Amino acid sequence: MKYFSELAEILEKVEKINEKSLKIDVLSRFIKSLDKNELKITIWLILGNTEEEWVERKLNVSISTIIKVLKNLGVNIKELSSLYKKSGDLGEAVKIIYERGNIKLNKWFAKKYTIIDIYNELKKIENLEGEGSREKRILYLEGIYKNLSPLEAKLLTRILQGDMRYGVLEGTIEDCLSYIYGIDDEKIKIAHAIIGDIGVLAEYLFDNPKNIENVNIRLFHPFKPMLAEKANNFQDVFNNFSPAAFEFKFDGIRAQIHKRGNEVKIFTRRLKDVTKSFPDVVELILNNIKNNEVVVEGEIVAWDYNKNLPLPFQEISKRIKREYEISKYIKEIPVKLFLFDIIYLDGKLLINEEYINRRKILEEIRGNIDLTPMIITSKEDEAKKFFEESVNMKNEGLVAKKLDSKYIPGKRDKSWLKVKGHLEPLDLVIIGGEWGHGRRKNFISDLYLAALDKDTGEYLMVTKTFKGLSDNEYIQLTKELLKYKIKEEGRIVWFKPKIVVEVIYDEIQKSPKYKSGFALRFARVNRIRWDKSEKDVNTIQEIRELYEKQRKEEI
């Protein structure tokens, strides 16, 4: 049974290691030494979670609550604020306060916490609700903090914030499991995507690494979906595979739908449970799909039934955030479901079936539910005509699929290719912003937008913009952003990277101004992507590729 102090010491060591192989070696040795009953929760805590990856975080402990706890323990808040401002890391600031001895601790009868102890305490705090819950949370945390070492206090503070900064991501844990069990890293990635949580996968492999061959979907636990690569044009598609299946790419919410008997759950692409927002879709599934157990994928689209046309994405996004007054929104914003894939049917995982066979199975079990419109062709003129039909309906374009393609959970693969009719928008995460002027003085309007550097796990700024959203959208966005505020410097506010926006732009330029090395010219926000998480944003590496393609086209 490992102590929390041992985890804190290992992570402190890992944070200072730059070499990837050495970092994986050190972390792997620690993970390998864990007992089965502490393995999953230790991995969760390393990643700043107390639940599986897809479960919405409930550990609502604000920075102000942490500061109140420390103040009650005699910490000089001016000193803490100065240290925090200097480092931008509250966990590091707390560690220094502890090292200086400027806090009242249990020096003689300090409790030594195990990892499981801390996890159980966090779950108690997580479950506090209602009147007086903040005061109880503060008392619980005081009791823990006064028994901690400097490194433990740093780690706990980071877990409470969900801002770990140790340079350990889900991909790092995948590499560790591959290293520990001698399993090909691609197999680990796919198994992780199917199971939906890296801690659960580690526990699954603990008794027998050969279990990797038997990984299956867990009904009502979402898996990471397969994603499409980008194609510049139809020639790109046919150079990769021909003939190709082309499907309409609707501008809606990608839905992963699980059914067993009379129970149905709906998850978004970011694995968020939105079942309560779409009781009409639940009813549609129950009335049409008669198989006992099934997992299908489709697109939920806001729909104008009078014109028989899709409505803009902004309409469906209003539904996704609603869990109350649903009957009102069902009438105001009706939806239509288009199915495009089937992953699991009555105990059988279908990911190794060819696309064309999965489509046939879907056709057989769908009842009266619409399938995504699709053609199979090797002729560019036919594909272009189908593309025009799609964009004329205000869809995004087409998705081309190789007829014998397997379904690879969690992977962006060239056997599926997106074909769009405009410069590819980017999904970026908001890391900061500035309070506006004039009529916008009460909300954040100038947004600092970042892409993910997948080599370091950092979110690096590539543009800032105040264009694209309405005042009402900025007001709503500001309310959400302030939940993730890290610090404020004059008019500038810095946020945890949580809220994603889709950005359109004129071109990508090299930029010495930003650490990323790139800047977007004439960037504007096209829409807020409430259906995506910070893990879904474009990477610096992808932006570099787009920049290189852009240069070739200019030459």
Known binding-site positions for ATP: 247, 254, 269, 299, 340, 412, 418
CA 285 – CA 337 distance, rounded (Å): 10
Q: Which residues on adjacent β-strands are paired with residue 449?
A: 430, 463
CA 144 – CA 125 distance, rounded (Å): 11
Q: Which residues on adjacent β-strands are paired with residue 293?
A: 260
Place of tokens 């910490």: 75
Q: Regarding beta strands 397-402 and 412-420, do their DSSP bridges make them parallel or antiparallel, or are they unpaired?
A: antiparallel
The alpha-carbon radius of gyration of the chain (Å, integer) is 25
> How many other C-beta atoms can be found within 10 angstroms of the C-beta atom of residue 229?
15
Residue 482 · residue 465 · CB < 8 Å: no
Q: What share of the chain is helix, strand, coil (3-state, %, to 5)?
A: 45, 25, 35
Transcribe 261-296 into DSSP letters: TTEEEEEETT--B-GGG-HHHHHHHHHH--SSEEEE
Give catalytic status of residue 249 as yes or no. yes
40, 68, 95, 249: the active-site residue:
249
CA 245 – CA 378 distance, rounded (Å): 9
Q: Regarding beta strands 263-268 and 412-420, do their DSSP bridges make them parallel or antiparallel, or are they unpaired?
A: unpaired
At 30, is the secondary structure helix, strand, or coil? helix
Phi-psi region of 220 (alpha: psi -120 to 50; beta: other; left: phi over 0): left
Cα separations in angstroms, 84 against 95, 167, 495: 11, 19, 15
Q: Regarding beta strands 485-489 and 507-510, do their DSSP bridges make them parallel or antiparallel, or are they unpaired?
A: unpaired
Q: Which residues are annotated as a binding site?
A: 247, 254, 269, 299, 340, 412, 418
Positions annotated as catalytic residues are 249
